[in-house]
Structure 1
């Protein structure tokens, strides 16, 4: 085998390895995650601005990792509470992206960024302390 053909074989091998490992974070982490919400006291209803809900905390809602939304918790006798949820690059997600870079998976980096597989929802889990509603004094009827 000549020097040029050995280099060509090596290049093809690297490209094949890169394509087989493309989108490392997408493969290892997936594009969805469970967003966990708790409340004190428990039993609050959760509704999100992206259309998801659960009827009583504690609960977990399956969300896209690159979601951004506001969640509102409601419970009779308590003031509504909101939490803003965003996303950030996760340690494990960054490792998957780094794997793409090392192996030459430029396409994999694009896939991971598009699917959000390298992201984590923050905050997750979240615990919200609900405040009791203020009660107005009872009126005396004469």
Structure 2
């Protein structure tokens, strides 16, 4: 009986997006030309692209990109259910891990930021 219980617990954990994917992800900004400054509405910034930030998967934020001699670019980053995140959520539900499914849904571990990477071509002024 202990073996069955341990196997069932292991199956539930392997399907959990929180464990397999985490609640944060790398989010990258690339610009053409490189060397632009990036500011986000959730207080992240870098002075020269390309740059990568560690962001919460459930984040939504605005982005402003500036470079002398080029028009300012603004945009929005949101999130969506990722293929791997959805699969982990399904694994939770199939294995009966309602608690794990609730955790994954609330902490954003089944989400991906979009767009990622953010690729922007700046327009000259």
| Same-fold status (TM-score > 0.5) | yes
Aligned 1:1-142 pairs, distance under 5 A: 13=5, 17=9, 21=13, 24-133=16-125
Are the structure 2 counterparts of residues 22 and 110 from structure 1 closer, same or farther at C-alpha, using a change threshold of 3 Å? Answer: farther
Q: Could you say what the CA RMSD is over the residues aligned between the two structures, in angstroms? A: 2.2
Are the structure 2 counterparts of residues 74 and 82 from structure 1 closer, same or farther at C-alpha, using a change threshold of 3 Å? Answer: same
Q: Which has the higher strand share?
A: 2
4+ residue runs over 3 A deviation: none
Tell which structure's C-alpha radius of gyration is larger: 1
Q: Which runs of 5+ in 1 are unaligned?
A: 1-8, 134-142
Q: Which runs of 5+ in 2 are unaligned?
A: none
Are the structure 2 counterparts of residues 22 and 112 from structure 1 closer, same or farther at C-alpha, using a change threshold of 3 Å? Answer: farther
Q: TM-score, normalised by structure 1?
A: 0.80
Q: TM-score, normalised by structure 2?
A: 0.90
